[in-house]
Amino acid sequence: MIEFFGFLAHQAPLVTVLAPAFGALLVTLFGRGKAEAGLPLALISLSLSSVGAVVTLFHVLASGGELRYRLGGWAPPFGIEYRIDALAALTAAAVVLVGLVNAVFSKTRVAAEAGEKAPFFYTLYLFLLAGLCGIVFTNDAFNLYVLIEITSLTSYALIAMGNRRAALSSFNYVIMGTVGASLYLLGVGYLYIKTGTLNIDGMRAAMAEAGIWGDASITVAFILILVGLWTKMAFFPLHGWMPNAYSYAPTAVGTLMAPLMTKVMVYVMLRVMLFAFGADFSYGGAGCGDIVVALSTVAIVAGSLLALARSDIKKMLTYLIVAEVGYMVGGAWVGNEAGLTGAAYHILSDAAMTFCLFMAVSIIVLRTGDHRLTAFTGLFRKMPLTMIGFTVGALSMIGLPPTCGFFSKWYLVGGGIEAGRWDYVVALLFSSLVNAVIFFRIFERAYFGEMDEPAPAGDDADSRPSQPLERVPWSMLVPLFLAAAAVLLVGLFNNTLAGWLRAALAI
């Protein structure tokens, strides 16, 4: 029996990736003509996948380091290997849990927005999640490319299922995404030629053995891969595809992709920097650390200001993501433990708070039928429960304790100070202040109602009869509260999480 459980625990990474993939196939197989078959299959496979991810996480933590899994038992450099450390396990757990919770959240929306195409929707949805998990686990640079393409192709199709303007946004994303993926592939090609392997650890070992760090081709490969990844993660000024794609996509797609896609790409960047090229090269030999931190400073400031200028709620949030991507890239590049920890921790915390905010905003847009900031007018009164979730996410974006956004900022600012990158520190604080303006502007509107509209005489919350519970289904509110709880828990347990991440990133 114990052996059996040991076997299961050992196979957990594979379950995490394959459960959604097989789920996708089953949905296509059985879902034809039966629109309602998609959701149960999706929930079952994602639950399985979540169990796999959690078991993997415990396994990694118990083993105290990293887990290696060979697909089909084939040893590298020929076979594909999974390499799972605490960061990978946590990121994968975040991916599948967001996927699962979002499937529940969007239950009614998928039925309404996709209609009879719902089975196709769930097929794509599950493939996207399988791809993201694979990206997180794999230790093979080419397999990584394939998986990136899987996630991209599925997300192009998913986005295009949105409203009338979605098709064009998706096309825009196709162009940018293809350019990005091609640059990445080109870089991997260079590396393959120089090192003769596609295994990420093997590449670093081969480069160290051959002593070719100073080679121009290595630097070119490094830059190609980075620019490719930056395009996929919407690093300013390569963010052009994102705002429209995320805001015109179907509700379920926006809430799934906004928290996950950019964060997983940041994870890949960390992986490439630290494991394919190694910290010595990334921070030293490549000689571009200072420039990248400066670029991230620009990204943070630009993202914040662009968000401030938007009156469309979802677009405003997507520009905030642009700024948050700047946080993470900067943290990854200041080149010290605090910054790196902050960047890795922010992958989790930004996923939690973006998820929380996107769900809250989706509910609000849905209930009010207004996608602009005016939708918030008087909402604390009309939709108090939804606004609680929104408030938690917003306070985290501003960076107030004890939400996770505060602790991200703590580590990142600490990293910036340690490295003496004051421009980056100032940009982080500036973004906090701009976020405070953005969200308190919303709070004020939600709290008081229209500016020029006098409070109705005798309007007193104490004497007003209780309102019906804002008519938002529990299948939407519970996921929102789970995300809000995650924002707080990730914050309160930041010390534990950061400890695991630090151990995973120490090379």
DSSP 72: G
* Measured distance CA(468)–CA(271) in Å, rounded: 49
Tell me the closest approach of the beta carbon of residue 414 to other proteins, in angstroms. 5
Region of 426 (left: φ > 0; alpha: ψ -120 to 50; beta: rest) is: alpha
Among 448, 481, 489, 503, binds other proteins (CB under 8 A): 448
Determine what percent of the chain falls in helix, strand and coil, rounding each to the nearest 5: 80, 5, 20
Q: Is residue 465 involved in binding other proteins (CB under 8 A)?
A: no
SS (H, E, C) 246-300: HHHCCHHHHHHHHHHHHHHHHHHHHHHHHHHHHHHHHHHHCCCHHHHHHHHHHHH
Among 78, 454, 468, 471, binds other proteins (CB under 8 A): 454
Among 119, 228, 303, 399, binds other proteins (CB under 8 A): 399
Q: Is residue 425 involved in binding other proteins (CB under 8 A)?
A: yes
241 or 345, CB closer to other proteins?
A: 345
Tell me the closest approach of the beta carbon of residue 328 to other proteins, in angstroms. 18
Among 400, 472, 485, 488, binds other proteins (CB under 8 A): 400
Tell me the closest approach of the beta carbon of residue 499 to other proteins, in angstroms. 7
* Measured distance CA(248)–CA(2) in Å, rounded: 50
Q: Which stretch binds other proteins (CB under 8 A): 99-107, 200-208, 367-375, 432-440?
A: 432-440
Query: Angle at Cα 380 formed by Cα 377 and Cα 381, nearest 5°?
Result: 95
Q: Is residue 376 involved in binding other proteins (CB under 8 A)?
A: no
Among 36, 58, 459, 474, binds other proteins (CB under 8 A): 459
Among 18, 218, 238, 498, binds other proteins (CB under 8 A): 498
DSSP 372: B
* Measured distance CA(82)–CA(485) in Å, rounded: 31
Q: Per-residue x/- mask for other proteins, residues 239 to 258, rule CB under 8 A?
A: --------------------
* Type of residue found at 112: A
Question: How is residue 493 written in tokens?
Answer: 């347990």
Tell me the closest approach of the beta carbon of residue 433 to other proteins, in angstroms. 6
C-beta separation of 250 from 114 below 8 A: yes
Q: Is residue 488 involved in binding other proteins (CB under 8 A)?
A: no
Q: Which stretch binds other proteins (CB under 8 A): 51-59, 319-327, 353-361, 494-502?
A: 494-502
149 or 423, CB closer to other proteins?
A: 423
Q: Is residue 460 involved in binding other proteins (CB under 8 A)?
A: yes
Q: Within 10 Å of residue 462's Cβ, how many Cβ atoms?
A: 4
CA 452 centroid distance within chain: 39
| Ramachandran angles phi, psi of 33, nearest 5° | 80, -10
Query: Angle at Cα 23 formed by Cα 21 and Cα 27, nearest 5°?
Result: 120
C-beta separation of 294 from 367 below 8 A: no
Q: Is residue 116 involved in binding other proteins (CB under 8 A)?
A: no
Among 338, 353, 442, 490, binds other proteins (CB under 8 A): 338
- Integer angstrom CA distances of residue 368 from 209, 363, 365, 427, 444: 62, 8, 5, 35, 18
* Measured distance CA(143)–CA(3) in Å, rounded: 31
Q: Is residue 455 involved in binding other proteins (CB under 8 A)?
A: yes
Q: Which stretch binds other proteins (CB under 8 A): 164-172, 217-225, 320-328, 452-460?
A: 452-460
Q: Is residue 7 involved in binding other proteins (CB under 8 A)?
A: no
Q: Is residue 450 involved in binding other proteins (CB under 8 A)?
A: no
41 or 398, CB closer to other proteins?
A: 398
Q: Is residue 383 involved in binding other proteins (CB under 8 A)?
A: no
How many CA atoms lie less than 13 Å away from 280 in the CB half-sphere? Answer: 9
Tell me the closest approach of the beta carbon of residue 423 to other proteins, in angstroms. 13
Among 36, 280, 444, 450, binds other proteins (CB under 8 A): 444
Q: Is residue 436 involved in binding other proteins (CB under 8 A)?
A: yes
* Measured distance CA(336)–CA(412) in Å, rounded: 10
Tell me the closest approach of the beta carbon of residue 459 to other proteins, in angstroms. 7
Binding site for other proteins (CB under 8 A): 338, 398-402, 407, 409-410, 413-414, 417-418, 425, 429, 432-433, 436, 440, 444, 447-448, 451, 454-455, 458-462, 492, 494-495, 498-499
